[in-house]
Amino acid sequence: MNIVLTGGTSGLGYRTAQVLGKEIKNKIILVGSNKQKGKTSIDNLIKETLNNKISFIQCDLSSISEIKSLADKLKKFKIDILINNAGALFFSRKESVNKIEKTFALNHLSYFILTNILLKYKVIKTGGRIINVASGAHRGVKVDFNNLEMTTNYNGWIAYKKSKLCNILFTKKLSELTKKNKITVNCLHPGFVKTKFGKNNNGIVSLAIKFLMNFFAISVEEGAKTIIYLATDDTVKNITGKYFYQSQIDEPSIFAQNKKDADLLWEESLRIVKNKGLTLI
């Protein structure tokens, strides 16, 4: 199997690569923004799995041009499984190189852009699987189409929650479009998992998250199970457009089931990237 795994250099992504890499026929490409972390990850993963078909491509997934060049590099492959997993929380408002609010750019638009380019160039095989790592944090918010990038009243936690809601709406819409190609698209909540998540923020925020993780989070081995289940289990091969938790279909919030919002998010995402010079469809 050819597997592309964004954010494979740490936390849930790394654990997923460890397990999928043990299947020696799997070829895994990890994507991350930090070159050194990428190198260390593949060295360690190859030692741990004895699978030397694990490689790394550096890409800042909040940058449209970097996603384009990543997709160019991936065009020569036929991908069986795409796992959109890279994500972060930005407690204070930041913008990407394209001047797009960074939570939205990284957590939603990177999934949207990379997947659409790969589909456009038929890089994902018929029968392939797309897995979007969302979060239970999507509950309790609604997408505000008048302030998608939170130019006013920015709150990092709310921005994160909304971006994870976008992952579910994106899954819903995309799954309809890929039915004809027999490519499934599902998303999941891994649980509250002890990882490096949140460490990119200032000391106090990062310490608070670390504190909560020490007391309440599950292990990365436990958290990654649903990603691995969606990637490998035969029972899900014909299931598409669903939200999973603990390897079971779960019901996301009412806002995550809103077809109109899924359509609107799709149209807005297309419009935003087009304004930045990228026509996807």
Residues that bind ligand NAP (CB under 6 A): 7, 9-13, 32-34, 37, 59-62, 85-88, 106, 133, 135, 189-190, 192-193, 195-197
Closest distance between ligand NAP and the C-beta of residue 157, in Å? 12
CA–CA distance, 22 with 20 (Å, rounded to integer): 5
In the complex, which residue's CB is closest to ligand NAP?
11
Closest distance between ligand NAP and the C-beta of residue 208, in Å? 14
CA–CA distance, 243 with 256 (Å, rounded to integer): 10
Closest distance between ligand NAP and the C-beta of residue 256, in Å? 14
Closest distance between ligand NAP and the C-beta of residue 198, in Å? 7
Closest distance between ligand NAP and the C-beta of residue 36, in Å? 9
Which pair of structure tokens corresponds to residue 215?
Answer: 């007391």
Please say whether the beta carbons of 230 and 12 come within 8 A: no
Nearer to ligand NAP, 97 or 125 (CB): 97
Nearer to ligand NAP, 131 or 262 (CB): 131
- Exposed / middle / buried, residue 47 (Cβ in 10 Å: 0-12, 13-18, 19+): exposed
CA–CA distance, 50 with 17 (Å, rounded to integer): 12
Nearer to ligand NAP, 24 or 208 (CB): 208
19, 20, 77 from 24: Cα distances, Å? 10, 8, 18
Nearer to ligand NAP, 108 or 173 (CB): 108
Please say whether the beta carbons of 244 and 229 come within 8 A: yes
Nearer to ligand NAP, 75 or 210 (CB): 210
Number of Cβ atoms within 10 Å of the Cβ of 121: 12
